[in-house]
């Protein structure tokens, strides 16, 4: 018997959608303003997931950078399905174009260019009848779930759209998924908003056209008002394992700190078991911190490399950039064995800069990079959006710590350094927190974590950080939005080279 821990995919991997093909599971998540878009994962057991790539990995697939692009815009809520020998992903680009479908013979790609569909709404889904009829359920612009019959190859709307269900009465009925199970069509949705009231509800009908009957126990799942460590549970998808058991993947958050609690990693992917009652309705267990894993073989996979030495021909799929990764802004060949970033903008305070990072996936972690700023300027950044980020920045013979919090921007520490490569480290810890302000050294309200910035080795005797900052200001509850922290390398002046980058979880002490 194996026990798995939640989340099964940690850090800023929201809105999971899953399908099974034989003994293999495939899952996609929202990516919002980040490129490449829509990370795609593979698993043999629903617990251990390995990122195969990104569905949208070519600038030509979408008009990027998008006019008016903004943090928490871009790509919302994909659905992945397998039908008639092809993988299909349907998605919404809220910053331009609307709803579209892409397809591929293999999940690794290549994925097609988008086929655009003239439907106004978000969170689209795909489901097929036995005769090949394709239905698209989506959250309509007027509220509630709408349904249209479409041709996903041509992008044509053949019937509808028409309203089918407005949920159980909670706000924002969205994220529909339509399934044919036995003699029933089931419609799974999210309700209550994606904050603490998030929940999962269901209706069923003998026909996709309705009429639809809500489950007597709606919402089937919600952690609202509980003291569970996992909150905001919703936006779910169902999948049946080869042994006949049913499972639900869904998003949730792990808030920390003083009331009202904040989450910093973003909405993550969780797994919970599903049973069916005698009346044919699903019974969903509260999302556990740990649980007995699905039956069958255990298939651990290698974690993404904690250290990247930049010797490959391309960047690994977990590396992401806000809005766009401009050709010529990065190179693995200009200085072999180094990642060279060339500035495309002078500041991280507005879109248009050069940044290559990865999601923060652990509450306690450490990031170290070796940087040669040369005559340029850049360093390590912890980003939530353009108005909420911290940097450990090198250039002009000094290293400094910069904090941008809403309308305020301040350099909080500086130190002169010699020319040449430097070791820069950012540590994030959930214990021994800095006080809310220097005047409150004996306590005060605490944030979720402390972000510390170091020159050279934090473990060296008598090592002192350049600065320690409260992590609450890089949380969703402060900054607003749908994403989580991304930690990475950036250049805002000239060309900056990175010899290696290492991300590692550390024990909380």
Euclidean distance between CA atoms 191 and 286, whole angstroms:
16
Q: Which of 207, 290, 414, 215 has its CA nearest to residue 8?
A: 290
β-strand pairing of 37-43 with 50-56: antiparallel
For residues 150 and 134, the answer to whether their CB atoms sit within 8 Å is yes
Give strand pairing partners of 252.
268
Beta strands at 134-140 and 121-122: parallel, antiparallel or unpaired: antiparallel
Token duo for residue 149: 């019959």
15, 372, 449, 493: which is the annotated catalytic residue?
15
Query: Which residues 6+ apart lie within 8 Å of 313 measured at CB?
Result: 332
Task: Kindly report the number of other CB atoms within 10 A of residue 309's CB atom.
Answer: 13
Burial class (CB in 10 A: 0-12, 13-18, 19+), 312: exposed
> Count of alpha carbons within 13 Å of 331, Cβ hemisphere only?
12
Does residue 393 have an active-site annotation? no
Q: Which of 174, 191, 385, 493 is catalytic?
A: 174
Contact indicator for 96, 324 with CB cutoff of 8 Å: no
Active site residue 15: yes
CB 323 within 8 A of CB 65: yes
Q: Cite the active site residues.
A: 15, 174
């Amino acid at each position: 018997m194996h026990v798995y821990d939640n989340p099964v995919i940690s850090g800023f991997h929201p809105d999971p959608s899953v399908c099974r093909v034989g003994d293999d599971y495939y899952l996609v998540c929202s990516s919002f303003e980040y490129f490449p878009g829509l990370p795609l994962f593979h698993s043999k057991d629903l617990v251990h997931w390995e990122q195969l790539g990104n569905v949208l990995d070519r600038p030509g697939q979408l008009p990027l950078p998008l006019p008016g692009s903004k943090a928490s815009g871009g790509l919302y809520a994909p659905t992945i399905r397998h039908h008639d020998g092809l993988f299909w992903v349907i998605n919404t680009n809220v910053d331009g174009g609307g709803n579209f479908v892409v397809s591929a013979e293999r999940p690794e790609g290549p994925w097609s260019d988008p086929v655009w569909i003239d439907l106004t709404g978000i969170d689209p889904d795909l489901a097929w009848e036995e005769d090949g009829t394709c239905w698209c359920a989506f959250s309509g612009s007027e509220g509630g779930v709408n349904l249209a019959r479409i041709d996903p190859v041509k992008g044509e709307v053949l019937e509808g759209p028409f309203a089918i269900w407005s949920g159980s009465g909670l706000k924002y009925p969205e994220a529909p998924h339509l399934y044919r199970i036995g003699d029933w069509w089931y419609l799974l949705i999210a309700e209550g908003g994606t904050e603490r009231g998030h929940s999962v509800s269901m209706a069923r009908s003998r026909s996709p056209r309705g009429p639809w009957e809500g489950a007597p126990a709606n919402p089937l799942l919600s952690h609202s008002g509980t003291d569970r460590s996992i909150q905001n549970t919703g936006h779910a998808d169902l999948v049946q394992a080869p042994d006949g058991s049913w499972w639900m993947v869904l998003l949730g958050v792990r808030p920390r700190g003083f009331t009202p609690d904040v989450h910093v990693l973003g909405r993550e992917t969780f797994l919970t078991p599903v049973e069916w009652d005698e009346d044919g309705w699903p019974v969903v267990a509260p999302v556990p911190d740990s649980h007995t894993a699905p039956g069958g073989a255990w298939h651990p996979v290698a974690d993404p490399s904690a250290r990247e030495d930049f010797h490959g021909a391309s960047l690994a799929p977990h590396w992401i950039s806000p809005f766009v990764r401009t050709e010529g802004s990065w190179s693995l060949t200009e200085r072999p064995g180094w990642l060279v970033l060339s500035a495309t903008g002078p500041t991280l305070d507005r879109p248009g800069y050069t940044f290559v990072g990865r999601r923060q996936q652990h509450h306690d972690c450490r990031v170290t990079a070796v940087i040669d700023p040369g005559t340029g300027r850049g360093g390590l950044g912890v980003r939530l959006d353009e108005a909420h980020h911290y940097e450990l920045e090198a250039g002009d013979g000094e290293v400094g710590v910069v904090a941008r919090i809403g309308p305020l921007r301040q350099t909080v520490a500086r130190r002169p350094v010699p020319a040449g490569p430097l070791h820069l480290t950012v540590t994030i810890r959930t214990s021994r927190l800095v006080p809310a302000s220097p005047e409150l050294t004996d306590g005060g309200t605490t944030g979720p974590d402390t972000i510390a910035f170091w020159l050279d080795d934090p473990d060296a005797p008598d090592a002192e950080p350049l600065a320690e900052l409260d992590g609450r200001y890089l949380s969703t509850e402060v900054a607003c939005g749908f994403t989580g922290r991304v930690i990475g390398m950036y250049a805002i002046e000239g060309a900056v080279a990175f010899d290696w980058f290492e991300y590692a979880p550390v024990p909380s002490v």
